[in-house]
Every structure is written in C-alpha cells, then in structure tokens.
Structure 1
C-alpha cells in the first residue's frame, strides 16, 4: 500500500468515460483513496474542498477540459502540480501534443492497461 506517513494517498480521477473511470478505481482502490468525477468543473469544486495527492486528468472532458483544469490548478492549487498525470485518447492532435509538451507532466495514452496505470502512478508517487 502506498502511504505518505500513515495516511493513504488521495487520488482524484477526472474521467467522463464510466468504463475507464471504473477500471481506474478498481485498479487503484486497494492502495489509494479514490474520488471519481466526470469533468473539470466538479474536479475544481472537489479540489477546493479537500486536499488530493494525485490527480489523473483526462484531457477531453465536458464543461471544463483537462487543459483548463490544469491552468486553474496552476493558479489556485499549485501544490497539486507534482501529482498530476494526464490521460488522453487524442495523441494525434497538435493542440494536445503541444499542451502536453509545454506542461511537461506525465501522461498515459488511451487505451491503457491496469499495469500501465499502476506503473505511472507509482513513478509519480515515488517522486513526491
């Protein structure tokens, strides 16, 4: 189990595809405290209400996309930045590619396996 001190690390998963968010939840829930939300707007509210150690953010979500959420986090909750991992099924878009390059955050292209998810989460946790 991944812990910082004696508390379980809290992971926010921002994903509008229910199947993917459930795979993430099932893969991570034994080691982490998981919160799911379908878009950046509700993610913003959750981040304002409680502290998260990690955030797995889909680039393309309704109401507020991952890029907009990242920009908000940069201004309002910068302590979360080292724990951000992006997911995207849009790896061929120049806008997405430019954004991911400019922010230099880890990302996981979709589709991904539970093993790939666990590996990237553990890598980020080890650098916190």
Structure 2
C-alpha cells in the first residue's frame, strides 16, 4: 500500500488492458505519483468525482465509456484539469480519433509506447499545465 502525503501528485490511469495499466502505474510511481487505476471511463469518471487528480492517462478505446467521453466529463466537471489528460491508443487511423486529437491538442501516446516515452509526455504535460 502506498501512503500518500499532502504534497504527493496523484494520477488516474483509465486503461482496460492490465499489462498496460501496470506499466503506466509503475512508470508514474517512479515519477512521484500516487496512482489509481480505472478499467473504463465510467469508473474513471466516478473516481475523478471523488478525488482530486493532478494527471490523467486514458486509453481512448475502453469498454462502457471511451476516453473521449471521459475527457468530456473531465472538461465539464474539472475544466482546470482538462489540459492534464494524456491519451493512449492503438487506433491512430480512425477519423473520429484524429479529429478529436486535433480539436483538443492533448498529450498523446500511440500504442505501443515505452516507459521513457510516457515519462517524457507526462513531464511535457505538467510543464505545459504550469505555464
């Protein structure tokens, strides 16, 4: 169990693939985050309503509620955090996903990605959000 202190950053990973969720969690913990996991956007929305997060890493394609709908929820419920969502997907050719990513310009990682690539995008996202 990770003990969270008041100054520890928090991250929510919305990912239905357990291996990818574990890699994200391990990488984020290495960056000083306390990490929670959600298996889909519906669970992620409930968790985001119950707890304040500093960063979100969300797969665009999850069951029940996809990452796009999850982002829309964050955008409405926590507009100050909408720029702190990093998306992952293996479906980079879909016109719907392309249009969405072009519209909001979030952090983005095409699958498969390495822990180093995730760390880089996390740092860029946090720097951009602090500017």
Question: TM above 0.5, one fold?
Answer: yes
| 1:54-93 → structure 2 map (5 Å cutoff) | 54-93=55-94
- The CA distance in 1 between the partners of 2:68 and 2:53, in whole Å, is 18
> With structure 1 as the length reference, what TM-score do the two structures score?
0.91
Please identify runs of 4+ aligned residues in structure 1 that moved more than 6 A.
Answer: none
CA RMSD of aligned residues (A): 1.1
Q: Which runs of 5+ in 1 are unaligned?
A: 1-5
Deviations, residues 17-64 of structure 1 (Å, cap 9, x unaligned): 000000111112131111111100011100110100000011000110
Name 1:110's counterpart in structure 2: 111
**C-alpha distance in 1, partners of 2:103/2:28?**
28
What's the secondary structure of 2:112's corresponding residue?
coil
Secondary structure of 1:29 counterpart: helix
Q: Which residue of 2 aligns with 1:17?
A: 17
SS in 2 for 1:79: helix
Secondary structure of 2:86 counterpart: strand
What is the count of residue pairs matched by the alignment?
Answer: 123
1:35 equivalent in structure 2: 36
TM-score under structure 2 normalisation? Answer: 0.89
Which ranges of structure 2 fall in alignment gaps of 5 or more residues?
Answer: 1-5
What residue in structure 2 maps to residue 3 of structure 1? none
